[in-house]
Structure 1
Amino acid sequence: METETTETAIPAGDVELAADLVTPTEGAVGVVLFAHGSGSSRRSPRNVAVARVLHRHALATVLVDLLTPEENRVDQETAELRFDIARLAARLVSAIDWLRRSPDTAALPVGLFGASTGAAAALVAAAERPEHVPAVVSRGGRADLAGPALSRVRAATLLLVGGRDEQVIQFNQQARDALGGEVELRIIPDATHLFPEPGALEQVSDQAADWFAERLPSFGAAP
């Protein structure tokens, strides 16, 4: 499916976040906002690969840098800001609100795709905006770091974890038991944390696309 890419900036409090909005030229049935993982960015090759599969299912995507360039430089030295779930989640909420204001996306239900610590931020944001976010997918995510917000999540949540990522499986089992809405934990056999094994990321992409494609169009635009 042909797409159109727009580089933009999303206002979030006193900062602006660089973002890439990709929309199918024949129209979208939903939009998926990506929350990247620890030490990554909107240009993450893994998230870009997942986004390309979503486009084939008539889903628009937004890949956004949740940290400013200055914050990213600090984080590269300290690795602290990537674990600031409250900051990341607040910026995702700002991005959701921006999507609701933008003419090209205002009518579209929003899905959230989070990786690593970005998954926790996505779940907190979903809890804050249940009227706009019907579905969340976590890839190798630290969903457990969403803490008390997990019980307030109403979005249908898919937790994807590599079969050899044993500690993260345990974290996701804890999150699954705490989540308040529909939830599935699926294990990608023989995959490690970043899903570099042949075919592993393709499985993640296909399962995420199916999850969103089944849930976003039927949700419709919130009033």
Structure 2
Amino acid sequence: MDEQRSTVIIPVGDAPLPADLMLPGQTVGVVLFAHGSGSSRHSPRNVAVAETLNRRGLGTVLVDLLTPTEDEVDAQTAELRFDIGLLASRLAGVVDWLAAERPAGDVPIGLFGASTGAAAALVAAASRADRVAAVVSRGGRPDLAGAALAQVRTPTLLLVGGLDEEVITLNEQALAELGEVGELRIVPGATHLFEEPGTLDQVADQAGAWFTTHLTVPVHPARRS
């Protein structure tokens, strides 16, 4: 079967969320992306990571967790993009949609979060432990996940740039909360956005290996009402 690319609207509560789906011919798992504040599903960094995952046979879903109307308002107020509870709830809703609609088939689901999106991914993983099989954070703010960190039971990889000293400290603290399910890796010579040559490639390769390792056993969850 050939690869499938599509843009869909995913209904989460009363919020219609636009998302770009890419499903390889033989999809072994699907990874849902949560971008950071001020970004969108068109983030060139997340798109680049998604393309690497696709080459490994992983489907990808790049979604905007705010509706176009909300995003337009938020461009002025910058409030919703930092509402981790709202973003995590939306992300969990997309996980439920993937589990129910199965556009990629009966395959495991992973979450890839960048910056504040990583906090939303961890909160969503804690609330959907039966459906989320792996998490990767890129330059993330896992500290913003709050009490949910200690409730995460999903294998979680924290990737941080070696020059991003403040975020390294925050991730080290988060790692202590995650316990044995967490692993922290430093990408040498990288700043927060991994703009230095070759650093984003390292993120993509390590994320791909993590998801390939952990997205191996299909989950058969009961539908949530």
TM range (shorter): over 0.9
Distance, in Å, in 1 between the alignment partners of 2:2 and 2:206 is 21
Provide the residue aligned with 1:207 in structure 2. 206
Distance, in Å, in 2 between the alignment partners of 1:182 and 1:50 is 23
Give how far 1:73 is off.
1.7
Tell me, what secondary structure is at the counterpart of 1:179?
helix
**Ranges of 4+ aligned residues in structure 1 off by more than 4 Å:** none
CA contact (8 A) 2:30 2:61 kept: yes
CA contact (8 A) 1:109 1:222 kept: no
Tell me, what secondary structure is at the counterpart of 2:132?
coil
After TM superposition, list the pairs within 5 Å mapping 1:177-196 onto structure 2.
177-196=176-195
Q: Does residue 174 of the first structure (1) align with residue 173 of the second (2)?
A: yes
CA contact (8 A) 2:158 2:171 kept: yes
Provide the residue aligned with 2:114 in structure 1. 115
Tell me, what secondary structure is at the counterpart of 1:94?
helix
Distance, in Å, in 1 between the alignment partners of 2:154 and 2:180 is 6
Alpha-carbon deviations, 1:126-174, whole Å to 9, x = none?
0011011111000001011000000110110000000111111111111
Distance, in Å, in 2 between the alignment partners of 1:170 and 1:78 is 29
Give how far 1:104 is off.
2.6
Provide the residue aligned with 1:77 in structure 2. 76
Q: Does residue 96 of the first structure (1) align with residue 84 of the second (2)?
A: no
Distance, in Å, in 1 between the alignment partners of 2:122 and 2:36 is 13
Distance, in Å, in 1 between the alignment partners of 2:123 and 2:47 is 23
Q: Does residue 22 of the first structure (1) align with residue 1 of the second (2)?
A: no
Provide the residue aligned with 1:13 in structure 2. 13
Give how far 1:75 is off.
2.0
Counterpart residue type for residue 173 of structure 2: Q
After TM superposition, list the pairs within 5 Å mapping 1:20-169 onto structure 2.
20-25=20-25, 27-169=26-168
Give how far 1:213 is off.
0.2
Q: Number of residue pairs matched?
A: 221
Give how far 1:181 is off.
4.7
TM-score normalised by length of structure 2: 0.95
Alpha-carbon deviations, 1:12-40, whole Å to 9, x = none?
11110000111002x21110000001111
Contiguous gaps of at least 5 residues in structure 1: none
Distance, in Å, in 2 between the alignment partners of 1:103 and 1:183 is 28
Give how far 1:103 is off.
3.7
Distance, in Å, in 2 between the alignment partners of 1:212 and 1:82 is 26
TM-score normalised by length of structure 1: 0.96
Alpha-carbon deviations, 1:34-64, whole Å to 9, x = none?
0001111111000000000001111000000
Contiguous gaps of at least 5 residues in structure 2: none
Q: 2:219 aligns with which of 199, 218, 221?
A: 221
Give how far 1:74 is off.
2.2
